Structures are given as C-alpha cells and as structure tokens.
Structure 1
Amino acid sequence: MATTEPSTGALPDPATAPLTVGGDDVLLTASGIGVNASWGHIYGPVDLRVRRGGVTVLVGSGGRGRSALLLTLAGRMKPSNGTLTAFGKTNDAQHLFGHAALAYIDEVDKIGQTIRVRDVLTEQLRWRAPWYKFVGLGNEDDLERLCRPVFGPLTLPSLDSFVEELPELTAALLRVAMANHRQPELLVVGGIDKLTRISSSHRFLERLIDLGRRQTVITCDINGVVPQEGVTDVIEVDNLTDGEFVRIEREDRKL
C-alpha cells in the first residue's frame, strides 16, 4: 500500500517560488448567482469576490449546493440567475471553462476503485494526446511529470497500486494532479473537509497553497481555515442549502 510522506529526492524549496497573490487584483466576481433545477432550488443567491493568486477558502455547508457552486465557478455549470464575471467576460461559462481546472468533485472526477494508478495515468495521457498519436501505458516518468507539481515533497503513489488502497491524502492529490495537468490560471478543488484525518486536511491545504503560488485556487471547508501565508481570503458563503438546515447548523456550531 502506498503512503504519502516526504520523499528522499531533492526538490526546489517551494518557499522560494513567487507567491502570486495580487492584492486587490480581482479574478472573479459573483453577484447574486444561483442555480435552479427542474425539480427545485439548488443554491443561491451568492455574492463573492475571488482575488488573484493564493488560495481562497469558501466556508459553507457541504452537499449538492456547494458542489454546484464550485462547478459554476469553474465554468462547468451556468448560473440560472445573477452575474458571474471572470477573465474579462460576464456569464460566459465556456470562456471560464477554458481558463479553469476542476478537481476532487465526485460528480466529475471520482476514480473507480478497482483500477490501478497506471490505468488512471494512461487514460489521462491518451485523453490529452492528438487522436492520431499512439500513447502507450503510463510510466514512472509520466507519473513524475504530471504528479510532482501537486505532490511536491510527498511520495508519489506506485503505478501498480489500486486506487482503493491509496491513503486518502494520496488519492485526493492524485485527482488534483490528473485534473491540473494544463495548470490553468484557476484551479477549483472540492472541500478539504472531505478528508477524514485532520493531519491529511492540513497537508492537503499546504499543497494547495503551494499551487497557489502560480495559480488561483478556490476550495472550501465547512469550518473554514486559520488565516496564514498563502491563504488570500476565507469567505463565508450562505444559501448553499435549505434555510432550515442552515439555521440548525449554526445553532450546532454554538454548542
């Protein structure tokens, strides 16, 4: 079984990389956005502003509303109402899609547990390649190239490991690595609170902060995170679920 721990290979110190937090340089602005389905309300209205660089953590209840908001912020879902301005265009999901990667959302990138890491890597390589190019099985060099920017000093999974046997942090980072191969300006990542171990959540956030030196990263956590270097903003987001559930949740937090 693979483990996620510091590797022995020498790596450049991430702290020396430029931190691209842009002060008041706003990358994305949402005003009153929401999504409705044929069967009812999903989330909204939501107002938020994401500044360029670093990690922006959205604080709100998990569930379909939060997932749908992340899909919207990555250009994978169009808002039913409100305005979403990103990369110079308003309510243009296709334009936003081209500038964003989305990872760690089960509805989008959940990996089948009965396959090996090599199979996941090979599928990603073949998906990226021109249709006329033959792509063989993924190898160690491919794994290093695609995964090292996300894993940093942590140990990469073995190519022959089954995904279901990976530690939760390793599995989460693998999903981010597969989604972030283009390294676009915006990376939207599912909640760090999905990890069951506190230590895993902390390390996951550390890796997102490192990615935030070169990209703008959006993630979420039901309890928020401690402000620290590399975390640009921690934003409370309401209207992600039924109003009664929100009231009960807030009362529970006070206990």
Structure 2
Amino acid sequence: MDGAHVTAEGLGLRGPRGWAFRGVTLDAEPGSLIAIEGPSGSGRTCLLLTLTGRMRPTEGVATVGGSTLPRHMAAVRRISALAGVAGVTDLEPALTAGEHLRERALLQHRFGDSLRELLHPRAGRSHEARLRVDAALAAAGLDLETLPKGSRTAVRDLGRVQELRLSVALALIGRPRLLGVDDLDTKLSDAERAEVWDLLRSLARGGTTVLAVCRTAPEDCVVVSTHRDTAGGNTTSRDDAEEDADALA
C-alpha cells in the first residue's frame, strides 16, 4: 500500500490554557520520514495526534492521503496507526508479545478488514492473519525467537527498543498508509535511538509515510518544528492540551 501524502497550511490547536501548536506548514510526499521536532511540552504529541485524525485542529487545514482535516477525521484515522503513544497505545505489562499480537489480529479481523476479506473462508482468513502478523514483525525488525521466552515473553520483560518494535508491529498489522510514533527520546541511549531511526527509515523506504516525535531530528527527515518561536502564541504542555475534550475526535 502506498504511503499518504501529508500537507498542512497554518495548522493550529488551541486548548483552554493556550496554543499547543500553531502555524504549522508541511508538504511531505508519500513514503516520507517526517520528524516532529521540539522540546517536551511544545505540542509535539498533539500535532502527531492531529495529523493522524485523533485531535481536531482549531485553525488551518491539512490533507492526509487525500482526506481533509478537520472535515474528514474518520477517514484519516482509517488509514493511519499509532505506536508508542503514552495513554493511547500502552501495552499491558502482564500480557505476552504473542497475546498482544493475537489480540490485535483479532481486532483487525473484526473491525478493520474489508468486506471482501470477511467473505473469505475461515481457514483463508486465519492464514491471512498469520501472514499479516509475520509481515508486521518482519517490517518492525522483531524476531520473537530472540526474546527470552519467545512469543511467551511478557511485555514487562522486554527492553525499551523491543517494546517499541512490538508497538510498531502491532500498528503495522492494519497496513496503515501513515504511521505515527511518539517520543523517540524517552529511555533510549544514543545507540538505541539510532537503531530506531534506522527502523523508521526502512518503513519509509517500504512506502509507509512515517511521523516521528523527537527533540532533535536527523538530517534526512522532513522536519516540522514545534519550538515556541515557530509555533507562535502560547504553548502548553501535552497533558494540558489533551485534557481539552473539545479538541479530541
């Protein structure tokens, strides 16, 4: 599936305590690696959630895969997926990697598959689900056999990079055209951060458009800044903005 073309013009989101971000302009071709760059609390996650159709912008417009925001937020949600977003895609520490994958495949089958796929015989659908999971794991660079207990390894026993790769794999099961990954700076060493950026580059080379939140972006990204001097107006923390029920989809 081709990645989503992402554009924005004068995009802004205002919460009860001020602007989370403002004046965002962007034009990224399908298969781009887009870095949302800025300090913590500058509205980075809010912009990620807005461009993936999860938060309603206050001003400006954006298009994602041909669908316009804020008018067609549901359509954007259907072609996008999230990974590593605290409070949104949290993994259950007590569940195993295999349990998370089976649960996501089941949810995809029940709520995400097209009518044509649902009409396939049950055996064919099970085979398709296994292929999807295998393809997602391969794209995320996660080999379950290398985990301490294989697919039975609990999330709480995963390293930070392994946990992030699992979150990415879960997102990829739905074959999104746009993948949003939050906060690549949290609990990662420089070497681990470089490893994760290599993963995101490989996904972009494969055709998926990738949005990644970070403090400092690599040089090969399409960069969108949420620094105060470029966002304009008052900035507010991610938690403050996400409390604004009117902004949520």
Q: TM-score, normalising length from structure 1?
A: 0.72
Q: How far apart, in 1, do the equivalents of 2:62 and 2:184 lie? A: 24
Q: Is the Cα–Cα contact under 8 Å of residues 169 and 195 in structure 1 kept in the other structure? A: no
List per-residue Cα deviations over 1:210-236 (Å, max 9, x = no partner): 1101211111221222x2xxx342333
Match of 1:34 in 2: 12
Q: What SS does structure 2 have at the residue aligned with 1:108?
A: coil
Cα separation, partners in 2 of 1:121 and 1:79, compared to 1, 3 Å? same
| Identity in percent | 23
Matches within 5 A, 1:2-81: 27-38=5-16, 40-63=18-41, 65-81=43-59
> By how many angstroms is 1:195 displaced?
3.8
Secondary structure (helix, strand or coil) at the match of 1:32 reads strand
Alignment length, in residue pairs? 217
Residues 189 and 147 (structure 1 numbering): CA distance in 2 closer, same or farther, change over 3 Å?
same
1:78-157 pair list within 5 angstroms: 78-91=56-69, 92-130=72-110, 144-151=134-141, 157=147
Q: Give 1:223's aligned amino acid.
A: T
Alignment of 1:222 with 2:211, yes or no, is no
* Cα distance in 2, alignment partners of residues 175 and 127 from structure 1: 15
Give the Cα–Cα distance (whole angstroms) in 1 for the partners of residues 79 and 46 of structure 2: 18
Q: Distance in 1 between matches of 2:159 and 2:86?
A: 17
Closer, same or farther: CA 244–64 of 1 in aligned 2, 3 Å: closer
Are residues 1:234 and 2:227 paired? Answer: no
Greater helix content: 2
Post-superposition Cα deviations, 1:142-177, rounded to whole Å, max 9, x if no partner, equal: 753431121168965421111111011000010011
The one-character-per-residue Cα deviations of 1:177-231 (angstroms, maximum 9, x if unpaired) are 1011122221111122124211111111101111101211111221222x2xxx3
| Unaligned runs of at least 5 residues, structure 2 | 112-117, 238-249
SS at the partner of 2:185? Answer: helix
| 1:182 matched to 2:174 | yes
* Paired residues of 1:53 and 1:232 also in contact (CA < 8 A): no
Q: Distance in 2 between matches of 1:79 and 1:244?
A: 15
TM-score, normalised via structure 2 length? 0.74
String of CA shifts for 1:85-121, please: whole Å, max 9, x gaps: 2223322212211221221111210112122212211
Residue 205 of structure 1 aligns with an amino acid whose one-letter code is W
* Structure 1 gap segments, 5+ residues each: 1-19, 247-255
Q: Are residues 176 and 64 of structure 1, via their aligned partners in 2, closer, same or farther at CA, if it must alter by over 3 Å?
A: farther
Q: Which residue is 1:252 aligned to? A: none
| CA–CA distance in structure 2, aligned partners of residues 81 and 242 of structure 1 | 13
Q: What's the Cα RMSD here?
A: 3.4
Give the secondary-structure state (helix, strand or coil) at the position aligned to 1:43: strand
| TM-aligned CA deviation for residue 238 of structure 1 | 2.9
Say which structure, 1 or 2, has more relative contact order (CA 8 Å, 6+ apart).
2
Counterpart position of 2:165: 173
